[in-house]
């Protein structure tokens, strides 16, 4: 499905990003593993991919910093020679009720989750325009559509990512660059493991399929959107949420 394609996944050392990197590699892609802090975990993902017979390497960058991202793109393009797939996955949470949310908590989340997508997309666009092809998949969230108390910063960022996806899809369509998003619901990762049992049970009551999703559930849809099977799809946001938001 992705034989010979070169991909970059941000925040790929664990959770959903790791699952996406492995899934793309399973389908034939070479993958650059971006990480911000945990080099050992990122290296472990790269090693797993190399064992599948694909190329893989790690690349450190803070997605919220344009300088850092430009350096990362240069390194990835010089190692691979081209870049066919960008998955903007890196994200953080700093949950708090609106009245208690600090300006720093708002700014950190907007900078990583929204500005990070803008900066990485801008940085990859020149290369993809030269190639006259490319697939960009943004990891948004279902709460960017539904809203969620205690997450004003996160919801604003993810709603922004959905808007950014539509605009970049329209701007880049004539260059054969496809831009889509996925909106996961509650997926079992370090992010959701931090929830209390009560919060966990409340979540289950909202999900028609009565279970949390797995990182692989997200990875498989990202792999589809990154492949030629999705060549007539752009600007869309696919819900991966067990039917929570219809």
The span from the CA of 187 to the CA of 215, in Å, is 6
Tell me if 221 sits within 8 A of 213, measured CB to CB: no
Phi, psi torsion values for 4, nearest 5 degrees? 80, 0
Query: By CB under 6 A, is residue 76 in contact with ligand NAD?
Result: no
Per the annotation, does 13 bind a ligand?
A: yes
> Would you state the structure tokens that stand for residue 161, as one six-digit string?
């990512």
Q: Which is nearer to ligand NAD, 8 or 169 (CB)?
A: 8
If you ran DSSP here, which 8-state letter would residue 238 be given? E
Nearest-10 Cα torsion for 212, 216, 217, 220:
170
Query: By CB under 6 A, is residue 106 in contact with ligand NAD?
Result: no
Residue 81, CA atoms < 13 Å, CB-side half-sphere: 4
Q: Which is nearer to ligand NAD, 10 or 227 (CB)?
A: 10
Q: Which residue has the tokens 């208690």?
A: 100
The span from the CA of 165 to the CA of 204, in Å, is 29
Among 139, 152, 159, 244, binds ligand NAD (CB under 6 A): 139
Query: By CB under 6 A, is residue 206 in contact with ligand NAD?
Result: no
Task: State the DSSP H helix or E strand holding residue 179, giving kind and residue range, or none if neither.
Answer: strand 177-184
Q: Which residue has the tokens 């960022």?
A: 157
- Which listed residue (35, 80, 106, 154) is catalytic? 154
Please work out the total of residues on this chain that contact ligand NAD, with binding judged by CB under 6 A. 28
Query: By CB under 6 A, is residue 244 in contact with ligand NAD?
Result: no
Phi, psi torsion values for 157, nearest 5 degrees? -65, -45
Which of 6, 9, 16, 14 has the alpha carbon at shortest distance from 219?
Answer: 16
Which of 170, 144, 158 has the alpha carbon at shortest distance from 88?
Answer: 158
Active site residue 35: no
Query: By CB under 6 A, is residue 101 in contact with ligand NAD?
Result: no
Q: Which is nearer to ligand NAD, 27 or 141 (CB)?
A: 141
Among 43, 82, 192, 236, binds ligand NAD (CB under 6 A): 192
Query: By CB under 6 A, is residue 27 in contact with ligand NAD?
Result: no
Q: Which is nearer to ligand NAD, 34 or 227 (CB)?
A: 34
Per the annotation, does 181 bind a ligand?
A: no
**Quick one: which segment of 46-54, 98-106, 168-176, 190-198 binds ligand NAD (CB under 6 A)?**
190-198
Min dist CB 130 to ligand NAD, Å, is 25
Residues marked as catalytic: 154
Contacts with ligand NAD, residue ranges (CB under 6 A): 10-11, 13-17, 34-37, 62-64, 89-92, 112, 139, 141, 184, 186-187, 189-192
């Amino acid at each position: 499905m992705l034989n010979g394609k070169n991909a970059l996944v941000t925040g790929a050392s664990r959770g959903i990003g790791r699952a996406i990197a492995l899934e793309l590699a399973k389908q034939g892609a070479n993958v650059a593993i971006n990480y911000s802090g945990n080099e050992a975990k990122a290296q472990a993902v790269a090693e797993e991919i190399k064992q599948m017979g694909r190329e893989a390497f790690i690349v450190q960058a803070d997605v919220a910093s344009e300088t850092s991202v430009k350096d990362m793109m240069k390194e990835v393009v010089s190692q691979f020679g081209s870049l066919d797939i960008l998955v903007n996955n890196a994200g953080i949470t700093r949950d708090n009720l609106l009245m208690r949310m600090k300006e720093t908590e708002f700014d950190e989340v907007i900078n990583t989750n929204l500005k990070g997508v803008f900066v990485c997309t801008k940085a990859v666009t020149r290369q993809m325009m030269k190639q006259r092809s490319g697939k960009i998949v943004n990891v948004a969230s279902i709460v960017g559509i539904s809203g969620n108390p205690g997450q004003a910063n996160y919801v604003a960022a993810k709603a922004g990512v959905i808007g950014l996806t539509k605009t970049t899809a329209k701007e880049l369509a004539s260059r054969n660059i496809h831009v889509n998003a996925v909106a996961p619901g509650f997926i079992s990762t370090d992010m959701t493991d931090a929830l209390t049992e009560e919060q966990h049970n409340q979540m289950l009551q909202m999900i028609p399929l009565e279970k949390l999703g797995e990182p692989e559930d997200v990875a498989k849809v990202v792999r589809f959107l990154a492949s030629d099977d999705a060549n007539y799809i752009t600007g869309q946001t696919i819900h991966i949420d067990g039917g929570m938001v219809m």
